[in-house]
Structure 1
Amino acid sequence: MATTTKFEKGAPPHLALFPCAGMGHLMPFLRLATMLASRGCIVTFITVQPTVSAAESDHLSIFFSTHPHIKRLDFQLLPYKKSKFVNDDPFFIQFEAIGNSVHLLPPLLSCLSPSLSAIVADLPVASRVSQLASDLSVSTYILITTSARFFSLMVYLPQLAQDKNTKNDAGGGNGYIELPGLGSMPVSSIPPAMLDDNNFFAVSISTNVSSLFKVKGIFINTFNWFEAEAIEALNSSGVAPHLAPILPVGPLESFEIEQASDLPWLDEQAPESKSGCTFLWVVKSSKVDKDDKEGVEDIVGESFLGRTKKKGIVIKGWVNQEQILAHPAIGGFVSHCGWNSVIEAARLGVPILAWPQNGDQRINAEVVEKVGFGLWVRDWGWMGEKLVDRNHIADSITELMLSQNLRARAKEVKEKARQAREINGSSERLLQGLIDSFKSMEET
Structure 2
Amino acid sequence: MAPPATLRSGEPDRDTPHVIFIPSAGMGHLYPFFRFIAALSSYGVDISVVTILPTVSAAEADHFAGLFAAFPSIRRIDFHLLPLDTNEFPGADPFFLRWEELRRSAHLLGPLIASATPRVSTIVSDVTLASHVIPIAKELHIPCHVLFISCATMLSLNAYFPVYLDTKAGMDGIGDVDIPGVCRIPKSSLPQALLDLNKLFTKQFIENGREITKADGILVNTFDALEPKALATLRDGTVVTRFPPVFAIGPLTSHSPAAGERVDAGFPLAWLAEQPTRSVVYVAFGNRNAVTLDQIREIAVGLEASGFRFLWVLKTTVVDHEDTAELKDVLGDGFLERVKGRSLVTKAWVDQEAILKHPAVGLYLSHSGWNSVAEAAAYGVPMLAWPRGGDHRVNATVVVSGGVGVWMEHWSWDGEDRLVSGKEIGDKVKEVMLDAAVRARAAKVGEEADKALTEGGSSYRSMQQFVAKLKNN
Structure 1 length-normalised TM: 0.91
> What is residue 228 of structure 2 aligned with on the other side?
228
> What is residue 130 of structure 1 aligned with on the other side?
134
Q: Does 1:393 align with 2:425?
A: yes
> What is residue 210 of structure 1 aligned with on the other side?
210
Superposition deviation, residue 165 in structure 1 = 7.0
Contact 2:264 2:351 (C-alpha < 8 Å) held by counterparts: no
Paired amino acid for 2:76 = R
Quick one: distance in 2 between partners of 1:74 and 1:363? Answer: 34
> What is residue 306 of structure 1 aligned with on the other side?
337
Contact 1:342 1:368 (C-alpha < 8 Å) held by counterparts: yes
> What is residue 359 of structure 1 aligned with on the other side?
390
Superposition deviation, residue 204 in structure 1 = 0.4
Select between 425-434 and 252-261 the one with higher mean Cα deviation.
Answer: 252-261
Contact 1:177 1:187 (C-alpha < 8 Å) held by counterparts: yes
Quick one: distance in 1 between partners of 2:87 and 2:130? Answer: 19
Q: Does 1:94 align with 2:131?
A: no
Over 3 Å counting, the alpha-carbon distance change for 1:53 and 1:246 in structure 2 is same
Superposition deviation, residue 81 in structure 1 = 2.8
Higher relative contact order (CA 8 A, sep 6+): 2
Q: Does 1:55 align with 2:86?
A: no
Counterpart mapping for 1:229-378 below 5 A? 229-258=229-258, 259-261=263-265, 262-273=268-279, 276-378=307-409
> What is residue 118 of structure 2 aligned with on the other side?
114
Quick one: distance in 2 between partners of 1:92 and 1:378? Answer: 26
Quick one: distance in 1 between partners of 2:187 and 2:309? Answer: 37
Superposition deviation, residue 177 in structure 1 = 3.7
Contact 1:95 1:125 (C-alpha < 8 Å) held by counterparts: yes
Contact 2:159 2:213 (C-alpha < 8 Å) held by counterparts: no
Quick one: distance in 2 between partners of 1:385 and 1:229? Answer: 35
> What is residue 449 of structure 2 aligned with on the other side?
417
Once the two structures are superposed, what CA deviation does each residue of 1:22-70 show, in whole Å capped at 9, x if it has no partner?
0000000000000110111111111111111111111221222122222
Q: Does 1:25 align with 2:25?
A: no
Superposition deviation, residue 187 in structure 1 = 1.9
Quick one: distance in 2 between partners of 1:302 and 1:18? Answer: 46
Paired amino acid for 1:284 = K
Paired amino acid for 1:214 = K
Quick one: distance in 1 between partners of 2:26 and 2:356? Answer: 21
Once the two structures are superposed, what CA deviation does each residue of 1:150-177 show, in whole Å capped at 9, x if it has no partner?
22112221243342576465xxxxxx44
Quick one: distance in 1 between partners of 2:361 and 2:48? Answer: 35
Identity within the alignment, %: 41
Quick one: distance in 2 between partners of 1:269 and 1:331? Answer: 11
Quick one: distance in 2 between partners of 1:226 and 1:138? Answer: 32
Paired amino acid for 1:378 = E
Superposition deviation, residue 249 in structure 1 = 1.0
Paired amino acid for 1:269 = Q
Superposition deviation, residue 112 in structure 1 = 2.7
Over 3 Å counting, the alpha-carbon distance change for 1:257 and 1:74 in structure 2 is farther
Once the two structures are superposed, what CA deviation does each residue of 1:185-213 show, in whole Å capped at 9, x if it has no partner?
22210123113121011100111111123
* Aligned-partner SS, 1:156: helix
Quick one: distance in 2 between partners of 1:352 and 1:151? Answer: 22
Quick one: distance in 2 between partners of 1:133 and 1:177? Answer: 31
* Aligned-partner SS, 2:424: helix
Paired amino acid for 2:447 = E
CA RMSD, Structure 1 to Structure 2 (Å): 1.9
Superposition deviation, residue 110 in structure 1 = 2.9
* Aligned-partner SS, 1:285: coil
* Aligned-partner SS, 1:184: strand
Contact 2:247 2:466 (C-alpha < 8 Å) held by counterparts: no
Q: How many residues align?
A: 427
Paired amino acid for 2:409 = R
Select between 396-405 and 184-193 the one with higher mean Cα deviation.
Answer: 184-193
Paired amino acid for 1:409 = R
Quick one: distance in 1 between partners of 2:343 and 2:28? Answer: 26
* Aligned-partner SS, 1:143: strand
Contact 2:162 2:209 (C-alpha < 8 Å) held by counterparts: no
Contact 1:62 1:257 (C-alpha < 8 Å) held by counterparts: no
Paired amino acid for 1:363 = V
* Aligned-partner SS, 2:32: helix
Quick one: distance in 2 between partners of 1:279 and 1:341? Answer: 17
Moved over 6 A (4+): none
Over 3 Å counting, the alpha-carbon distance change for 1:241 and 1:168 in structure 2 is closer
Select between 27-36 and 306-315 the one with higher mean Cα deviation.
Answer: 306-315
> What is residue 6 of structure 1 aligned with on the other side?
none
Gaps of 5+ in 1: 1-8, 170-175
Contact 1:178 1:185 (C-alpha < 8 Å) held by counterparts: yes
Contact 2:454 2:460 (C-alpha < 8 Å) held by counterparts: yes
Paired amino acid for 1:335 = S
Structure 2 length-normalised TM: 0.86
Paired amino acid for 1:60 = F
Quick one: distance in 2 between partners of 1:361 and 1:177? Answer: 16
